[in-house]
């Protein structure tokens, strides 16, 4: 699973995982979302706990041809 974004809507956090917007209590890919914090999402899948971390975007400088 890939965590793509975390945002706040109506005072509640939501996450975008594999292109699907979810909130706490919902499921994606058979994983139940149990917490959405700033920068990470915790879930339970097949009885095991897991965590997805939002990685910072790395921007590379544009190459300018002279």
**pLDDT at res. 59:** 62
| Angle, CA of 45, 53 and 21, to the nearest 5° | 65
What's the burial of 15, exposed, middle or buried (CB within 10 Å: 0-12/13-18/19+)?
buried
- As a whole number of angstroms, the distance between CA 14 and CA 62 comes to 32
Residue 53 makes CB contacts below 8 A (sequence gap 6+) with 3, 39, 40
Whole-number pLDDT of residue 11: 84
**Per-residue pLDDT at 23 exceeds 70:** yes
The pTM of the full predicted model, rounded to 2 decimals, is 0.79
31-64 pLDDT, tens digit per residue, is 999 999 988 999 999 999 999 998 876 666 666 7
Task: Give the Cα separation of 9 and 2 in Å (integer).
Answer: 20
Give the model's confidence band at 21: pLDDT under 50 very low, under 70 low, under 90 confident, else very high: very high
């Amino acid at each position: 699973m890939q965590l793509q974004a975390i945002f706040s809507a109506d005072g509640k956090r939501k996450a975008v995982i594999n292109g699907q917007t979810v909130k706490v209590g919902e499921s994606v890919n058979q994983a139940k979302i149990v917490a959405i914090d700033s920068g990470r999402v915790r879930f339970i899948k097949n009885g095991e706990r897991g965590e997805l971390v939002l990685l910072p975007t790395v921007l590379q400088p544009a190459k300018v041809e002279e």
